[in-house]
Each structure stands twice: as C-alpha cells, then as structure tokens.
Structure 1
Amino acid sequence: MSRRGWALFLAMSLIWGVPYLLIKVAVEDLPPVVVVFGRCVLGAALLLPWTVARGGLRTALRHWRPLLAFTALEMTGPWLLLAYAEQTLSSSLTGLLVAAVPFVAALAGWLAGEEERLTRVRLLGMGLGVAGIGLLLGLDVEGLAPLPLLAVALVVVGYATAPLIVSRALPDVPGVAASAVALTVTSLVYAPFAVPRLDAAARAPADALLAVLVLGLVCTALALALFFALIREVGPQRALVITFLNPAVAVLLGVLLLDEPLTLGLAVGLPVVVLGCVLATRRGPARRTPAEPGGVDAAVP
C-alpha cells in the first residue's frame, strides 16, 4: 500500500471510530432526531454542491427508487436508531456491537448471490463473531435493555444489506453522489420533527452542539469523501479493513474520554469479534463476478 493509501486508511480507521463517542455526548442533551437532522444537514451542505458541480446529481436521480431504499437502510433508519440506543448503551458497547456488520454482510451477500463461496474459514469467522457478541452480552448483561439492543441489531441489518442495493441497482452512481442525495433526503424526512425543537436545542451545552458539528462535518462529509478516495487508492475490499479497527477506537475513546468502564465483556468480546470479522470477510473463490459498485461499500456509523 502506498503512503497515501496508508494515510487514508489510518484516517478512516480513526474517523469512523469517533461517531459513537460524539453521538453519546450529543444525546445527553439533544433529542436523537435533532442529532440526526443536524448531522445530515451539515453533511449535505458540503457534499451536495460538490455533487452538482461534478455533474453526479442527474446520474443519481435516474435511479431514485433503489437510492431511496439505500438511504433508508444506510442512513435514515440506522442513524436515528443509533442515537436512540446510545441514550442507554455506552458508546464503546454500541461500537463493538456494530462491528458485527462485516460478517452479517458476508452472510447476506452470500444468500443474495453477490459474494464469494462461504469457505470453512469464513464460516469459522461468522461463528467467532456470534460467539464474541454472546460473550460480550453474557458478561456485561447487567443494565442491558432489550429495546436499545434491538435498535442496534436493526442498525447492523441495515448496514449489512444496503451495499447489496448499491451493487445490484446503483453500479453507475458515484458514491459521493449517492451519499449526498441520501443525506439530503434524510434531512427532509426528519425536518418536520427536528425544526420545531431547534430553539430548545440552541440552548444545549456547547459540548453537545460541538459534537453534532464534528459529527456532520468530519465524521460524515469529510469521512465519506476520504472513504471513496481510499477505495480508489486500495480497492473496495481492502478499504473494508477499517471496519476491524473502528470498534477498538470506539472502545478506547469511551473508556478514556467518557469514563466508561472497561468491562470483562469488552475486554474478552472485542478481540473475538474483530478476529471473527477478519475471517468472515476474507476473500474466497467467487461464485460469480458481481458488478463493481460505485457507491458505499461499508457501513457509515
């Protein structure tokens, strides 16, 4: 990998490990719908003009039906569910649970005929991932609430299945263009619920507002642009490896900055889940050659 590739890889490993911390800080004082709305508006404000200037908007809108499905599965649903879940769950636990996305995506892709054959190694990885999450929840069962856990499970399903829509129905849509439209649509969906609360949100503590600002500008707009640069530099499969480091960053930040406990479940579950994800997404013999996706190839936290 080139120096540019390593720089992009390290930047994305850090940037997409940070949102769980920022969401946790923001939802302490802001309603989840306001957090999602602010994030999307800021991201769209940067990416939409870029998309229009590059002529990508028309291409994206020609595929509006699958693009709406992608938007619902990748942003509109998951981001609100994450914000809701983090009102109860710690940022480190949430980040680690979302690490289940790669092996769920591998299974979903195989079932849909979009992925390589499930080898023994990949099946072992999926088993380790499930075992790691079982260890995590079993050892940290005190204080866990079923609805937030269900919300994160739905996030994982959305993140794991959205790329299938991209590969099947949006192969000609540039990733940044798809993201810009998805951010704009999500902003419009939540505007009627968030705008009436903005007056109260303006009186929120500075750290909550700063968290939303960084979440929108850095962890959404900048991160999406860097991610697609990383894909061009190293390819989509190697770019997905950042998913293995994101939960470690989320756990570390939660423990160091939010005084979240480094529980036995986190200490044992983290390495098992990460190892499972690495094995579950290992390249294997292809069943058939899918169309090369032009859009999002990994979950956006």
Structure 2
Amino acid sequence: MKSIALYTLTVLIWGSTWLAIEFQLGDIAVEVSLFYRFSLAAILMWMWVGVKKLPMNYTRRDHGFFVLLALCNFGLNYLVLYWAQNYLTSAMTSIAFSMLLIMNIINTRLFFGKPIAKRIYSGAILGVLGIICLFWPQLQQFDLSNGVLVGLLLALSGTFVASLGNMVSVRNSHQQIGVMQGNAWGMLYSAIGLLFYVIISDAQFSLSAPASYWYSLVYLSVFGTVIAFACYFALLRNIGPERASYVIVLFPLVAVALSTLFEGFIWQTNTFIGFSLVLVGNAIVLTPTKRIKAFFAARSLQQKSSIPG
C-alpha cells in the first residue's frame, strides 16, 4: 500500500508540473528559474533534515555521488530538455522523455546485473506506443529538419542523463543513504552548480515576473521537487527502477486530463487508444507474474466448477 501511495502521488504531482511550467516560461531565463527552484527546494530539504536531526556526515566518495545526482537529476537533465524544446514541440519532448523507461531497464541490467522480467519489456513497449498514439496528431505534422534532429538528440541525451541519475539514486540506497539526506545534498550541489552556470552565461537574475510565476515556482519547488523526488527515489528503492520509472509514461495522462479541465482539450480516437495502451502497460509492469498466473488459475477453476457434471 505504501508503494501504491508513493506511485500515485508521484504521477499526480509530476503530471501536473507540465501545466505549472507553462507559467515559468518567458519572463525569466530558464536557468535562472531552475536556480530559484532548486535553491528553494534545497532550503526546504535542509530545514527538514535539521528538524528530523537526520545524519548528514558522509564519505568523500558518497559526496562524489551526491554531485553526480545533482548533475544528472537536478540540473543538467533539466537544462538539456529545456534546450530541446527550442527545436521540438512539447509532444515530441514528452515522447523522447518516455524513453527513460527503456533506458532504466537497460541500465539496471548493465549497472546492477538485475534480471528483468519479460513482462516489464512488454509493458514498457505498450507504454511508449501509448504515448505515441496520444500525440499522434502532432507527430503527423512532424518535419524532420536539421533543427528537429538536434532537438531529438538533445531530448534523448537529457533523458539518458536522467537515467544515469536514477542509477546513482539506486546506488545510494544500496549504501543505506536515506532518500531525504541524499536529496538534500543533491539539491544543495545543484543550486550551487546552477548559480555558477548562470554567472558564466548571458542570463540575468531578475525578480520581475507576474504573481503566477512565483506561485508556480513555489509549487514546482515544494511539490514538483521536494515531495515528488522523495516519492520517486523511494520507489526506486522499494520496487526497482525498471518498474518505478513507468510513472514517466503516466505523466502525459495527467497532463491531458488537466488540459481537458482547464484548457478545453477535446478527446479524439487516438486519445482513448493512447490512454488504454498506457494503462494496460502499467498493469502489466506492476502486476507480479505470480498474481497473473493465480488470477487465470482461479478463473479456470471457477469455469470448470460452473460446468454441470
């Protein structure tokens, strides 16, 4: 039940951040907004570990992995994906990022030697196909120009970097490093790294933005960063990255649902097909093989008992 709650919360929060990010674009440079976001998140995380009096002393090697976590999950991956959206539609970026599921499956096998159940591959393929169906109208307008190729390479690179960050989180869990402690250090290093990046870039610090910008920033920092990452990394530890990362292909479902409520999105045939494929894939990934076999065995026994002797 705990994993189900973490799974649901992660999907709902990160699915809603797509809408919140819309209010972050335009007024302040992306890298500055990310600095604000992770700085606020780092402050909140350190306040939390301080109140809980959690141990925060780790080896230099552990701090090296905290820096990697910051680079891969709290910094570089975001920058690269934002850069990708200069060349791609949000639909194409979403589809590219859904490949995180496949990358996590492969990297889990490579880095940890963990065998992957065949149903995980089947569910992953259905999930990615579902995302493609969901955005099929936009894909039909896809123009394979040089700019789009650059965008795709950037999006896939950012996704791969995020996958490496997931592997770092799994390593930290194996070393008995708490999710909150690892995230607190990671977000602190991320804020410092983003500060240096802003300083050496042409971006300018600015506080001139409408109220909607600041409301969305608080939401992204508190819910989209502190709470969602804590839930997601706990899932990586509890059920493994190959299953936990299926939340990635569920985000667009929440985004479409919110768009239906707030932006007048109209459902088409491809929307229903996409939703169905993603949900079926999700069920396959999360349902242990033993339960599936037990279900069909029970159904078979029930049918036999109902046949008149």
Place the TM-score, normalised by the shorter chain, in its bin: 0.7 to 0.9
57 and 67 in structure 1: CA distance in 2 versus 1, 3 angstrom threshold? same
Which residue is 1:295 aligned to?
none
Q: Cα offset for 1:138?
A: 6.0
Residue 98 in 1 paired to residue 97 in 2?
A: yes
CA distance in structure 1 between the partners assigned to 2:103 and 2:229 by the alignment: 22
CA distance in structure 1 between the partners assigned to 2:205 and 2:24 by the alignment: 14
CA distance in structure 2 between the partners assigned to 1:161 and 1:281 by the alignment: 22
135 and 30 in structure 1: CA distance in 2 versus 1, 3 angstrom threshold? same
CA distance in structure 2 between the partners assigned to 1:282 and 1:107 by the alignment: 20
Which residue is 2:186 aligned to?
182
2:166 aligned partner, one-letter code: P
Structure 1 portions without partners, runs of 5+: 286-301
Which residue is 2:167 aligned to?
164
CA distance in structure 2 between the partners assigned to 1:271 and 1:263 by the alignment: 13
1:221 aligned partner, one-letter code: V
CA distance in structure 1 between the partners assigned to 2:59 and 2:182 by the alignment: 6
- Secondary structure of 1:203's counterpart equals coil
Q: Is contact 1:9-1:230 (8 Å) kept?
A: yes
Which residue is 2:295 aligned to?
none
Aligned to 1:51, which of 49, 52, 55?
49
Which residue is 2:297 aligned to?
none
211 and 55 in structure 1: CA distance in 2 versus 1, 3 angstrom threshold? same
2:204 aligned partner, one-letter code: R
Q: Is contact 2:87-2:150 (8 Å) kept?
A: no
Q: Is contact 1:95-1:251 (8 Å) kept?
A: no
The alignment's C-alpha RMSD in Å is: 3.6
Q: Is contact 2:93-2:155 (8 Å) kept?
A: yes
- Secondary structure of 1:106's counterpart equals helix
Return 9-18 or 162-171, whichever deviates more: 162-171
Q: Cα offset for 1:45?
A: 0.6
CA distance in structure 2 between the partners assigned to 1:110 and 1:231 by the alignment: 14
- Secondary structure of 1:27's counterpart equals coil
168 and 13 in structure 1: CA distance in 2 versus 1, 3 angstrom threshold? closer
CA distance in structure 2 between the partners assigned to 1:257 and 1:89 by the alignment: 23
1:35-114 counterparts in 2 under 5 A? 35-52=33-50, 54-59=53-58, 63-86=62-85, 94-95=93-94, 97-114=96-113
- Secondary structure of 1:211's counterpart equals helix
Structure with the higher helix share, 1 or 2: 2
Return 129-138 or 167-176, whichever deviates more: 129-138
CA distance in structure 2 between the partners assigned to 1:125 and 1:9 by the alignment: 16
Aligned to 1:218, which of 223, 226, 230?
223
156 and 268 in structure 1: CA distance in 2 versus 1, 3 angstrom threshold? farther
CA distance in structure 1 between the partners assigned to 2:261 and 2:152 by the alignment: 23
2:65 aligned partner, one-letter code: P
Q: Give the % identical residues.
A: 21
Q: Cα offset for 1:33?
A: 0.3
Instruction: Give the TM-score normalised by the residue count of structure 2.
Output: 0.72
Return 165-174 or 73-82, whichever deviates more: 165-174
- Secondary structure of 1:26's counterpart equals coil
Residue 19 in 1 paired to residue 24 in 2?
A: no
- Secondary structure of 2:24's counterpart equals helix
Count residues in correspondence. Answer: 278
| 1:215-273 deviations in Å (ceiling 9; x for gaps) | 112211233445567789xx435866644533311222245435667677655445435
Instruction: Pick the structure with greater CA Rg.
Output: 2
Which residue is 2:307 aligned to?
none
